[in-house]
Chains A and B, each alone.
Chain A
Amino acid sequence: MSLLHIEGLNLSIHDTPILKGVSLSVDAGQIVGVIGESGSGKSMTAFAALQLLPNGAQCSGRIDLGGREVLTLNEAHLCQMRGRDVGMVFQEPMTALNPIQSIGDQVAETIMIHDSVSKREALERAADALRRAELPQDKFPLSRYPHELSGGQRQRVVIAMAIALRPKLLIADEPTTALDVTTQAQILQLLRRLVDEEGMGLLLISHDLAVVSDMADQIVIMRQGEVVESGPAQWLLRNMQHPYSKALLEASTHQPDRAPEDQEEVLLEVRDVVRDYTIHRKGWWGGTDTFRAVKGVSFQLRKGESLGLVGESGCGKSTLTRAILGLENVQDGEIRAFGQRVGRDFPNALRAGIQVVFQDPYSSFNPRWKVAQLVAEPFHLMTQRPADWRARVASVLDDVGIGGDAMDRYIHEFSGGQRQRIAIARALILRPDIVILDEAVSALDVSIRAQILDLLAELQEGYGLSYLFISHDLSVVRSITDRVMVMKAGEIVEQGQTDQVFDAPQHDYTKQLIAAVPVLPAEVTQGGNDERTEPVV
């Protein structure tokens, strides 16, 4: 007897088909992982089960939830069902909580909506729910506000809200995507424990094959609104039939072909760099404190090499990036590029030699400019824009795999992956020596990410580039870098050859990070043309 049984679910929104004949079921005490890339309909499947759909949505098929046919329930019954029978955990803990309500009130609210209990009793039960989500009362009293908690702790509050009424089914939509890797491991462990101890069913939606393979008993792979393949997790991972599933697996473990050249010439040297921020205390005459974001960091970037910088959010990697780009001055130590000291007064001609690609393909471009203009923006660093600038833009767009007809189109006409290619074109237009890739593939789907990594490897050879590859994603860093540095709280705690650092980490923090990364089973990754035997980190 399944908790949730979806059969032949079709969904269209304003006559655009979104889901086509989706079937899946979740049993008590079972974790079902739904994998798919953006637009695959995995979140919509979950929202359909709760009937939390946008205006103009039309459902057909069967959704059976604990013996009730969801599609026939009216709104009042649906409200009773949501929260009581099904709990939901969202992706973004920063926006899932109301910032002006204490966490106790927020969890208690869920309880009071469904059970007619006094505020006091609701708060008691809220405390219990928070404890089950591993937020003990002595450390995290009910009176805490969301801004006093870290991202992982907030996600625990969201989970506490979802499990407060002990629902039979929990739906978690990308619950760890916005979290750091060590926090992710803790949250996944918590979800696993809740399923084991309380016998809940868990529908875990994720784009990350490794996360799902670690957690799930059953896997459902979705693409463009259809289930392409499903089955028991361990069996399915070894017996994938559908070409899309195989492609997804290949992309998740993708290793771009690279031929690193050993060169001695040092392009960029960072020595004992310190970066302080001034924090204003409360009040007009409160004075100031300094916050040291980067504490004496030193490293060198050589010609033609690819250097990784790994760290969790808030470790100072973005601050360091801005200092290297010469956008902010450093308080101590120095950064030298091409033999010259980098700072606000760094000459434009040399500035052209260091370019950058950002994480978010959607905020990287002015939406009111055409592609040709966007890619040509760095020409501002030259005394005047060359006469053949359009030809140069066309050629660099061609190099990144974007056709020349893109030049006169606006950026919203392109997908995320295409935009990231255009961002790379913008970084390459001046033929720089150094490209800083600031989480450049983190926002992309796995298959697109694999393509962009291939492109980066290819361009590195063609253009003779040195990469500083900044990421929180250890598997990506491993696949594209020669050397890697691990940064924690403004300091580099470990650096060395990528393989050495990953295979034999020395520092405790590095060990923790590597242990926290979800891993695909070793035998799964051996198939195909990949002859490596160690698990892919």
Chain B
Amino acid sequence: MNGGNRNLWIGAVLTALFAGAALVSFLWVPYDVASLDIANKIKGPSASHPLGTDHFGRDILSMIMVGARTSIAVALVAVGIGMGIGVPLGLAAAARKGSLLDELIMRGNDLVFAFPSLLIAIMITAVFGASALNAIIAIGIFNIPVFARLTRSGALSLWTRDYVMAARVSGKGAARISFEHILPNVMNLLIVQGTIQFSLGILAEAGLSYVGLGAQPPIPSWGRMLADSQTMISFAPHMALFPGLAILLTVLGLNLMGDGLRDLFDPKLRRARR
């Protein structure tokens, strides 16, 4: 097994672990995350609470499981928004390269890129209120230029291929060529970038929740668990450790999976043996 393949497997296992935890949490969690148990607050890991309890006596394992739901949902929808809007924009810009449309799309992208993303996210949540939904929208907007640029650059090289020329000779228009010939062939780039943006989305959600602008109580979120644990870090390190590890491992898993997928889809690596 070569390096790329190993990355893919480790990444896939880590990702599956947290996705699985999120799914299981719909059916069963060790403890109800909304019920407080002050008698058992700030307990270290034990047989009854494998990852310990927080300052309200809630089970940290249960909170991480339910929190995975929030993190994954936010990141998934944010990537969806980015792809759903960014990819068609990128395809359109490439199809009309050098035109006013291309300039408008790409300069618009530059504009979004030019602002610090977290700052704008804070602004949006400050204006429209702190909620998971607004966090999703804010993170999603910053995914648009990433996908638009990637799609455009991938598509530009494909537009010079002879099969695109053959399609034009067959009387196909730019939109049809973009969806029949260009999109399927940039898909591998998009999938790989998607996993990277997904991990960045989880980090961004954690960041927003950390400053209190993401998912609101009582919905658990990894970012807010970290924020809550901050003042108790000296005598209850486990409260910070486990949500921190959850973020770290999920992001690591997704990045490794992205690397592995890139290697898997790279035609140069596939053809190397020829």
| Residues on A facing B (Cβ under 8 Å) | 13-14, 54, 325, 327, 348, 351, 354-356, 358-360, 363-368, 377-381, 423, 426
CB-defined interface of B202-242 with A at 8 Å, one 1/0 digit per residue? 00000000000000000000000000000000000000000
CA distance A14 to B2 in the complex (A): 14
**Contact between A381 and B165 (Cβ–Cβ < 8 Å)?**
no
**Known contacts A54-B272, A367-B185, A368-B185: does B162 contact A380 (CB below 8 Å)?**
no
Sample 26 A-B pairs with CB under 8 A, ordered by A number.
A325-B168, A325-B169, A327-B168, A327-B169, A351-B169, A351-B171, A354-B169, A355-B169, A358-B162, A358-B165, A359-B162, A363-B161, A363-B163, A364-B163, A365-B163, A366-B180, A366-B181, A377-B166, A377-B167, A377-B172, A378-B170, A379-B170, A380-B171, A380-B172, A381-B171, A426-B166
B175-207 CB contacts (< 8 Å) to partner A:
180-181, 184-185
Residue from the list A54, A358, A381 in contact with B170, Cβ < 8 A: A381
| A358 interface neighbour in B166, B180, B272, Cβ under 8 Å | B166
B-chain residues with CB within 8 Å of residue A380 when the two chains form the complex: 170-172
Select A348's contact among B163, B171, B181, B272, beta carbons within 8 Å. B171
Residue pair B169, A356 in contact (C-beta under 8 Å): yes
Q: CA–CA, A355 to B168, complex, Å?
A: 11
B273 within 8 A of A: yes
With A and B bound together, what is the CA distance between A461 and B166 in angstroms? 24
State the CA gap A360–B166 with chains docked (Å).
12
Nearest CB in chain A: distance from B264 CB, A: 15
- CA of A359 to CA of B163 in the docked complex: distance in angstroms? 11
How distant is the Cα of A327 from the Cα of B173 in the complex, in angstroms?
Answer: 11
A14 touches B273 (CB 8 A): yes
Bound CA–CA A54/B170 (angstroms): 41
Distance (whole angstroms) from the CB of A296 to the closest CB of chain B: 25
List residues of chain B with CB within 8 A of the CB of A379.
170
Which residues of chain A come closer than 8 Å to B170, judged between CB atoms? 377-381
Residue of A nearest to B182 (CB): A366
> A residues within 8 A CB of B168?
325, 327
Known contacts A325-B169, A380-B172, A366 near B272 by CB under 8 Å = no
List the A side residues contacting B161 at CB < 8 Å.
Answer: 363-364
With A380-B172, A381-B170 known as contacts, the answer to whether A366 contacts B165 (CB < 8 A) is no
- B164: nearest chain-A partner, CB-CB: A366
Chain B residues with CB under 8 A of A325? 168-169
Knowing A14-B273, A366-B184, A366-B185, say if A378 contacts B163 (CB, 8 Å). Answer: no
Pick from A355, A360, A381: contact of B162, CB under 8 Å: A360
Minimum C-beta distance from B94 to chain A (A): 16
Contacts of B181 in A (CB 8 A): 366
Can you name the residue of chain B whose Cβ is closest to the Cβ of A355? B169
Q: State whether A366 touches B163 (Cβ < 8 A).
A: yes
How far does the alpha carbon of A351 sit from the alpha carbon of B163 in the complex, in Å? 17
Chain A residues positioned under 8 Å from B162 (CB to CB):
358-360, 363-364
B272 cross-chain contacts in A, Cβ below 8 A: 54
- Docked complex Cα distance between A378 and B165 (Å): 12
Closest 3 CB pairs of A and B: A358-B162, A364-B162, A378-B170
Q: How far is the CA of A354 from the CA of B180 in the complex (A)?
A: 22
Within 8 A of A (CB), among B226-274: 272-273
A354–B170 Cα gap in the complex (Å)?
10
A380 CA / B169 CA spacing, docked (Å): 10
In the assembled complex, the Cα of A356 lies from the Cα of B167 at a distance in Å of 11
Q: Is the CB of A364 within 8 A of B169?
A: no
A378 touches B185 (CB 8 A): no
CB-based contact A356/B166 at 8 Å: yes
Complex: A325 Cα to B165 Cα, angstroms: 10
A368 and B184 within 8 A (CB): yes
Nearest CB of A to B68, in Å: 34
Find the A residue at minimum CB distance from B160.
Answer: A363
- Nearest-CB residue, chain B, relative to A16: B273
Q: How far is the CB of A444 from chain B (nearest CB, A)?
A: 15
Name the residue of chain A whose CB is nearest to the CB of B271. A412
Chain B residues near A14 (CB-CB < 8 A): 273
Instruction: Indicate with 1 or 0, residue by residue over B97-122, a CB within 8 angstroms of chain A CB atoms.
Output: 00000000000000000000000000
Check A364–B166 contact: CB distance below 8 A.
Answer: yes
What's the least CB distance linking B179 to chain A, in Å?
A: 12
Q: Which residues of the partner chain A approach B165 to less than 8 Å between Cβ atoms?
A: 327, 356, 358
Extra contacts besides A355-B169, A364-B163, A366-B180 (14): CB < 8 Å: A14-B273, A54-B272, A354-B169, A358-B162, A358-B165, A358-B166, A363-B163, A364-B166, A365-B163, A366-B163, A366-B185, A368-B185, A377-B167, A380-B172
